[in-house]
Amino acid sequence: LQRGVQLLLLPIHVLACLGLWDSFYKKLFPYVMAKVAPIYNHKVYKQKQELFSNLRKFAGPSGQLVLLEIGTGTGTNFQFYPPGCRLTCTDPNPNFRKFLLKSLSENQHLKLERSVVASGEDLRQIPDGAVDVVVCTLVLCSVTNIKKVLTEVLRVLRLGGAFYFLEHVAADHSSWTYFWQKVCDPAWKYFGDGCSLSRETQKELEKTNFSELNLRRIHVTPYWLPTSPHIIGYAVK
């Protein structure tokens, strides 16, 4: 079945090899996410609200929270951040900018300090130990190297700072969900801008040198979708 999907994707694969698919889809993808993200946010609203409810406890000595979001996209997490939060946004796709500005105009309780075009694997523009909290939702599924991203997260976090995450992950390997994840993966990569359905993200988090890891598994409806299995939580440096 996977080979069949790959065969159907052959024209797109040719375009990708010629360097034409990425240039086209990176312009289209923000418009897709602008439609999809609010639907997803509605489904996980309670989970996000609970996850981000303790952000303030990681504020620095000044009491003001310095927050870095990796892969900000359209800014769907902004509504969950506390007032007065000093925000730095990063995303490798510059075509998200107009959607980001729209979300900021709707969330004037936040103060945007910087917006950086950068991948999660290379945050060189952010100094060591400069932020209290790093947030990453539905991003680790599509990065090139999870280990490098988490290494950068540890570098930019101050000691005692926290990394918040919400990611769809691989299902149990004996399940039908995992079977369909593997079948759909080739297509998902192209239409999800590099996204993989079957990443074992929790294993990378467990291997990273955090002092504390709070992680739990959830399922997002509808349960038959290959993106249903998720992990959610936060880790402390």
Taking only the tens place, the pLDDT of each residue in 119-148 is 999 999 999 999 999 999 999 999 999 999
| The pLDDT value given to residue 103 | 96
Q: Is the pLDDT of residue 2 over 90?
A: no
Give the predicted TM-score (pTM) of the model.
0.94
pLDDT above 70: percentage of residues in the chain: 100
Largest CA distance in the chain: 57
CA 130 to CA 90: how far, in whole Å? 15
Taking only the tens place, the pLDDT of each residue in 101-115 is 999 999 999 989 999
Q: Does domain 1-236 have CATH number 3.40.50.150?
A: yes
In this prediction, residues 213-229 reach a mean pLDDT of 96
| The pLDDT value given to residue 28 | 94
In this prediction, residues 11-26 reach a mean pLDDT of 90
CA 35 to CA 26: how far, in whole Å? 15
In this prediction, residues 200-214 reach a mean pLDDT of 96
Alpha carbon of residue 80 to chain centroid:
15
Backbone angles phi, psi at 229, to 5 degrees: -70, 130
- N- to C-terminal Cα separation, the chain: 43
Taking only the tens place, the pLDDT of each residue in 47-105 is 999 999 999 999 988 889 999 999 999 999 999 999 989 999 999 999 999 999 999 99
Q: Is the pLDDT of residue 185 over 90?
A: yes
Number of H helices, E strands in the chain: 8, 7
SS3 159: strand
State the chain's mean pLDDT as an integer: 95
Q: Is the pLDDT of residue 1 over 90?
A: no
Give the start-to-end residue ranges of the domains of the chain: 1-236
CA 126 to CA 35: how far, in whole Å? 30
For the range 3-6, what are the long-range contacts, defined as Cβ-Cβ under 8 Å and sequence gap of 24 or more?
5/183, 5/184, 5/186, 5/187, 6/186
